Structure 1
Amino acid sequence: MRRFACPNCSNEVHFRNSECVNCNSRLGYVPAWDQMFFAKPGDTQWHDGATVYKACANRQEIFCNWLVEDGVEDEHCLSCRHTLVIPDLSSPENRDHWASLEEAKRRLFYSIQKFGLGVGDLVNAGDTALRFEFKADTLAPDGKTKRVLTGHEHGLITINVAEADDPTREKYRKAMGEPYRTLIGHFRHEVGHYYWDHLVWNTDKLEPYRAIFGDEREDYGEALKRHYENGAPAGWEATHVSSYACAHSWEDFAESWAHYFHIVDGLETAGWYGLDGHTPDAGLNRTPGGWSDAGPYGAAEFRPLMDAWVPLTVAMNAMNRSIGLGDFYPFVLSDTIFAKLEFIHGLIHDRA
């Protein structure tokens, strides 16, 4: 994530901010420009020369600070319009969970835009577009709880809103022995399945994929059953980025896809704060040096990313230990995992 400054007073603001605490300007993010725009308090429009923008319809509902070009029929921003189902808002906690999910999804869409990946056409080809449903568990008439499973099916990503509850998510993380479980991690993992369908399946990338990740034609249901009964095989850390990645070729790809997103976005953040070994410029709205005009998102070569990422994670782990926290980055990346990440790097940049 890059750094942002208020366009009115140059005070530092953050990606989620809808108002500048220094000058009280109303802030709005335009993904096509990767910029914050400002409007004076009380104004209902944002301007970029001849272009006029309006607030996303969810600005008041869940504090979405993204903008929509005026005249566009859809009242929702690029990110929010891809959510087809929201939880029952008669429950106050569901509104909070929905807001947290959408905030994480905006970070996902930020990366998708930076990579130049498409999200499909909701109007003309809705069944192949990227879509989201946020649902809560419900109580059936017989008193049993009907569970909502987080997952992906042909571009439709369903996420149980309980994942937005920090104590619940931590309980799941511990119960499943995961070193890491976050909302942005869920989003990045699930869209990995969507992009596998579009970038790997039925393309010339399929055979190279199988050589690296394994054969996806293995029975998925049986593979998951075996994984949940027996766990990951001994020594999995040398070949997979997580134990769940061992379950099936598809899950290995999705976990690696999510990890690649973690790395690139983490490096962009580090660059903007001068933590990647490059000397930062004085201004906030700078182009980070060392990669290209697009920063790590535009890196043509994969290895320089890893050469920057590995020492950064070592330093961050040491920082966390210095103040008594768990490791910032509880992963070890082998050459085998590097090869998987490099394959994904090639997929994304060939597509872009």
Structure 2
Amino acid sequence: MKAFSCRICDSPLFFENSTCVTCGAVLAYSCPEHDIVPLEEDGTYVDADDVRWYRCANLELSDCTWLTDVEGGQCFSCDLTRTRPNDADAKGLSQFGVAEAAKRRLVVELDARGLPIVGREEDPEGGLCFDLLSSVAENVVIGHDNGVITIDLAEGDDAHRAKVQAQLDEPYRTMLGHFRHEVGHYYEGVLVGDGPLRADYRALFGDESVDYQEQIDRHYAEGPPQDWAESYISTYATMHPFEDFAETFAHWMHISETIDSARAQALVTVDPDAFSLFADLVNGVWVPLSVALNQINRAMGRDDLYPFVIAPPVLDKLEFVAALTRPHAAASQPPASGANLAL
């Protein structure tokens, strides 16, 4: 995430800020400008082309700070949400904003890397959309199905998420992590598909045609192989090649976004684009940075920020994922109206 500052007083801002705490300016996020902009007294923003922009209709519902050029309309990120809790589900709605905040960050990250986001209106059969469901009255299974990503809003509750994390003996579990993992499934289909890259995929991750349900049953009955850490980033990645790819994609995003954020805050001075291989970036920048961040977390009495060890086979998998995204490195602009079009 880039470093933001207030255009009025130059004070530093967080991506989620709707008000500058220093000067009081009312703020919103502009997708075309990739920046946080100050609003006029009527709550609108006029860009350099004299286009008037309005706050997203979901400002009160989910704390959405994005702009749309349709008065009373939704922004691009909110348009990607297909299902949300009903108005009578107070608990689900209280958790909804956490999920939407993570999704907005995900959309910005994907856009910054030039990855295409095609909504359901443009591609009704395989376009990307999100079902953000409340598990208050029903069981919700987090997952991906042909472009539809389902998220359990209960994961926005820290106590619930920590409980599940302990039950599954996971070193890391966050709402943003869920989004990055599930969108990894989506991009496997988009970037790998059934073309020539599938053979390279299988050489690294295995044969994805093996029965998925059987592999799930095996995983939960027997657990991961004893030597799993020699070839996988997590125990969950051992379940099936689909999950191994999605976990690797998520870690590619974890690493890339954290390095970029560290550079934006002047904690890292090297330009990530100077590395032709992602593996070199991991070894040269990420490993020392993550060790330092883990030490800082421990100094605050917190768990490690990045509690993972990257074995050589995992590094090869990360390189494969990074290489998939390189043709999309030149990011295109998001749609001005927030319509479901490719970013």
TM-score, length of structure 1 as denominator length: 0.89
Q: Which residue of 1 aligns with 2:262?
A: 270
Residue 126 (1) aligns with residue 102 (2): no
Equivalences for residues 169-208 of structure 1 within 5 A: 169-208=161-200
Matches of 1:86 and 1:103, distance apart in 2: 14
Match of 1:322 among 299, 302, 314: 299
Q: 1:143 matched to which residue of 2?
A: none
Shift of 1:88: 2.5
Structure 2 CA distance for aligned equivalents of residues 121 and 176 of structure 1? 33
Q: 2 CA distance for matches of 1:326 and 1:5?
A: 30
Distance in 2 (CA, whole Å) between partners of 1:252 and 1:54 is: 41
Runs of at least 5 residues in structure 2 that lack an aligned partner in the other structure: 330-343
Distance 1:246 1:48 in 2: 49
On the 8 A contact 1:120/1:126 being kept in 2, the answer is no
Deviation digits for residues 231-266 of structure 1 (CA, Å, limit 9, x no counterpart): 100011111111000000000000000000000100
Q: Which runs of 5+ in 1 are unaligned?
A: 140-145, 279-288
Quick one: structure 1 residues 29 and 291, their matched pair in 2 at CA, closer, same or farther if it must change by over 3 Å?
same
**Letter of the structure 2 residue corresponding to residue 22 of structure 1:** T
Residue 232 of structure 1 pairs with residue 224 of structure 2: yes
* Amino acid corresponding to residue 13 of structure 2 in structure 1: V
In the alignment, is the contact (CA less than 8 A) between 1:264 and 1:305 conserved in 2? Answer: no
Shift, 1:34, TM fit: 1.2
Runs of 4+ more than 6 Å apart? none
Which letter maps to 2:160?
T
> C-alpha offsets along residues 115-153 of structure 1, whole Å, 9 cap, x if unaligned?
1111114323222211000112354xxxxxx41111110
- Check conservation: 2:80, 2:119, Cα contact below 8 A: no
Asked if residue 303 in structure 1 is aligned to residue 270 in structure 2, the reply is no
Where does 1:135-284 land on structure 2 (aligned, <5 Å)? 135-137=133-135, 139=137, 146-276=138-268, 278=269
State TM-score, norm by structure 2: 0.91
Structure 2 residue matching 1:203: 3-state secondary structure: coil
Higher RCO (CA 8 Å, separation ≥ 6 residues): 2
Aligned partners of 1:58 and 1:153: how far apart in 2?
Answer: 26
Tell me, in whole angstroms, the C-alpha distance in 1 between the residues paired with 2:196 and 2:328.
13
User: 1:70: how far off?
Assistant: 4.3
313, 326, 339: which one pairs with 1:336?
Answer: 313
Give me the CA root mean square deviation. 1.6
- Counterparts of 1:202 and 1:63, CA distance in 2: 40
Paired residue type of 2:289:
L
Identical counterparts, % of pairs: 37
Work out the number of aligned pairs and report it: 327
**Distance in 2, Cα, partners of 1:124 & 1:2:** 29
